[in-house]
Structures are given as C-alpha cells and as structure tokens.
Amino acid sequence: MVFGVFAYITHLADELFAGSVLFPFVLSAAGLAIYALGILYAKNRPRLERAAQRLLPENARRFLPNTR
C-alpha cells in the first residue's frame, strides 16, 4: 500500500504538476498535517476511545477487551 501511495504521488509530481512550484509545498503541508494529527491522536487517545465506545451498541461492547 505504501508503494502505491508513493507511486501515485510520483505520478502527480511528474505528469500533472510538471513545472509547478507550489506542488512540493502543498505536499509538505499535507505531510505535516498528517504528523500533527498523529500527535493529537496520541495525546487524546483515551478520550477518543471512550467516545467511540459510547457510540457502539451495548451488545457490540461486550466483545471489546476490558483493559488495554
């Protein structure tokens, strides 16, 4: 999957955005956004997991482990 993403981005860079000065900056901004979202998730993981568990029906919650 990672190779497919890399190949697609290479295709975009070579064919669709040939000569574009903005593409490397947009690609860098997207990478930084993914990195920032990972940090936010790591900081708020317990709260996000509790919120996700509240959305599950009761009969589905019984299949989740009690502790992590």
Report pLDDT digits (tens) over 11-62: 887 887 778 888 888 889 999 999 999 999 999 999 999 999 899 998 888 8
pLDDT recorded at residue 68: 61
Cα 28–chain centre separation? 15
Judge whether residue 8 has pLDDT over 70: yes
Phi, psi angle pair for 13, to nearest 5°: -65, -40
pLDDT recorded at residue 66: 76
Give ∠ CA 9-16-25 in degrees, rounded to 5: 60
Structure pTM?
Answer: 0.60
What is the residue extent of each domain of the chain? Answer: 21-68
Distances (CA, A) of 49 to 4, 5, 57: 30, 28, 14
pLDDT recorded at residue 34: 96
Task: Convert the pLDDT of each residue in 39-50 to its tens digit.
Answer: 999 999 999 999
8 A C-beta contact, residue 15 and residue 5:
no
